[in-house]
Amino acid sequence: MLAVEGFGVRGPRGWAFRDVTFAAEPGALVAVEGPSGSGRTSLLLALTGRMRATAGHAEVGALRLPRQAAAVRRISALAHVPGVTDLDPALTVAEHLHERTLLQRRFGTSLRALLRPRAERAAASALLRERALTAAGLDPADLAKGSRTAVRDLERSEALRLSVALALIGRPRLLAVDDLGLKLSAAELDAAWRMLAEIAEGGTTVVAVGHGAPDAALKIQLGNPDEKGAADALAETGRS
């Protein structure tokens, strides 16, 4: 679950966001709303342990932020965050999936699992990819060139779903998705929210930035404490 109280990030020139308080049960869908510069992306980064909070605290399951940020990073994942999770336009869907699977095998797998026979490891990796793609609603067979389709040739909704699928390969307990409605049609946005709602129903807590969330979502409204502070905080994250 998420329990957030007085949460905030302050940069050299002001607050990125401040005084965020809410509680969400496991498997909840949380929608973060607010104008540009209100710290929406910074909130996602802070909740997943990628940006250090300077005020308040948050509990992610049994872990407490900001003190246990490294542990929170291991159980959370980001998707569709500009400047952080950007897809390589020259790589194909298959190459992105293969790369993420290798990273998961190297850094997200126990020593015991690494000692299993190669065939078993390959089968487990294939199952992870299949489940992640299914949850994200992306079937490579429906793409123009199948899994060999380059990211530059994907529709925006397809690129979003690929980013979500890549994040799900790590089987996170907390998934954070940014800019959900970026250049999507109304129908595509509705479909994207349904996809995230189904992921949440499967037990993964989802926090997403965007408007038009379903009524069942917990909606968090951010103000605009300091546009320069939000920009400074994101720039600092990009340098780290």
Domain ranges of the chain: 2-239
Question: What's the pLDDT tens digit per position in 207-216?
Answer: 999 999 999 9
Q: Residue 26: enclosing H or E segment and its boundaries?
A: none
State the Cα–Cα distance between residues 99 and 196, nearest whole angstrom: 23
Q: Are 11 and 193 in contact (CB under 8 A)?
A: no
State the Cα–Cα distance between residues 81 and 108, nearest whole angstrom: 21
pLDDT at 228 over 50: no
Q: Are 192 and 180 in contact (CB under 8 A)?
A: yes
Give me the CATH topology for the region 2-239: Rossmann fold (3.40.50)
Task: Name the pLDDT band for 4 (thresholds 50, 70, 90).
Answer: very high
pTM: 0.87
Question: What's the pLDDT tens digit per position in 101-144?
Answer: 988 876 655 556 556 676 776 777 788 899 999 999 999 999 99
DSSP for 83-125? TTS---TTSBHHHHHHHHHHHHHHHSS-HHHHTS-HHHHHHHH
